[in-house]
Amino acid sequence: MFTDSHCHLNFPELREQLPEVLQAMAQAQVTRALCICTTLEEFDDVHALARDHAHLWATVGVHPDNEGVREPTLQDLLDGASRPKVVGIGETGLDYYRLGDRTVAEVEWQRERFRTHIRAGRQTDLPLVIHTRSASEDTLAILREEGGFSSPGVSSRGVFHCFTETAEVARAALDLDFSISFSGILTFRNAADLREVAKMVPLDRLLIETDSPYLAPVPFRGKTNTPALVPLVAQQVAELKGVSVEEVARTTAANFERLFTRVTKQDA
């Protein structure tokens, strides 16, 4: 029924209790989850989760905020994307939130890493899983430059995950034909502005996620998150849209299949 479009089941908080996590998913009617890769060093573990469980899928990529890790080449990403049950490129994007004493100019490596992921997405025709924090202007600018939107061939596509940006950023992402995914943050007391953004995003362009083990929705905020809690995100979306939870579950699952097309192709 429900699809968690972004989680990290390989992280220790969840990996160490994986049987219980999967059982809770089943009880909560969460029938699919996408396991997101954040470093090449962890890719084999992320892929193994998808390979070993019929209802799990994987991506390949290196998170923009990860330093001191193996830097991905285009060939690294293409090789990872060639494996069965790998359905997306990322998590990728830009994150200027933790610059510290550095300037934006000093993290050019983030922008180059992002460009590499965009090129891999276009070459494989796989969707990008975009992370952007305090960097939306550059994120959108690089997508426009690298995404192939004004040239023949395959254009970039994907999802802005765990969306926390403004309505203007959401509209720009939608204009580029990207989807928007909301997490448990949508249920937080201080997220009134974000709830207004969610009202604006068309339901047929919207995904739901947990980003677990982080960002557990109310009333579990501050506790370890799991995919079993994604129905609470769906419930919040349903309230904002004035529709049933079942409709949100059905539509977001269909949106997931339409974006991550390899899911249905490899199910066939």
DSSP conformation letters of 98-137: T-TT--GGGGHHHHHHHHHHHHHHHHHT--EEEEEES-HH
pTM score, whole prediction: 0.96
Confidence of residue 267 (pLDDT cuts 50, 70, 90): low
Distance CA 259, CA 196 (A): 24
- 132, 176 in Cβ contact below 8 A? no
Q: Can you name the residues that pair with 180 across neighbouring β-strands?
A: 160, 206
Return the structure tokens found at 87. Answer: 């359905």
DSSP conformation letters of the chain: -EEEEEE-TTSHHHHTTHHHHHHHHHHTTEEEEEEPP--STTHHHHHHHHHH-TTEEEEE---TT--SSPPPPHHHHHHHHTSTTEEEEEEEEEE-TT-TT--GGGGHHHHHHHHHHHHHHHHHT--EEEEEES-HHHHHHHHHHHS-TTSSSPPP-EEE-S--S-HHHHHHHHHTT-EEEE-GGGGSTT-HHHHHHHHHS-GGGEEE---BTS-PPTTSTTSPP-GGGHHHHHHHHHHHHTS-HHHHHHHHHHHHHHHSHHHHHHH-
pLDDT at 56: 98
Q: What is the pLDDT of residues 166-215, one digit of tens each?
A: 999 999 999 999 999 999 999 999 999 999 999 999 999 999 999 999 99
Confidence of residue 264 (pLDDT cuts 50, 70, 90): confident
pLDDT at 266: 63
Residue identified by tokens 């550095």 is 102
100 or 122, which is more confident: 122
Q: What is the pLDDT of residues 4-57, one digit of tens each?
A: 999 999 999 999 999 999 999 999 999 999 999 999 999 999 999 999 999 999
What sign has the CA pseudo-torsion 251, 268, 39, 136?
Answer: negative
Q: What is the pLDDT of residues 227-238, one digit of tens each?
A: 999 999 999 999
Q: Can you name the residues that pair with 92 across neighbouring β-strands?
A: 130
| Fold of the domain built from segment(s) 2-267 | TIM Barrel (3.20.20)
- 57, 87 in Cβ contact below 8 A? yes
pLDDT at 268: 42
Chain centre distance of CA 98: 20
Segment 118-140 mean pLDDT: 98
Confidence of residue 222 (pLDDT cuts 50, 70, 90): very high
Of 202, 127, 130, 118, the residue nearest 157 (C-alpha)? 127
* Number of C-beta neighbours around residue 15 at 10 A: 14
Q: What is the pLDDT of residues 47-98, one digit of tens each?
A: 999 999 999 999 999 999 999 999 999 999 999 999 999 999 999 999 999 8
C-alpha neighbours within 13 Å on the C-beta side of residue 226: 20
pLDDT of 248 over the 90 cut:
yes
Cis peptide before 213 (omega within 30 of 0): yes
* Number of C-beta neighbours around residue 177 at 10 A: 13
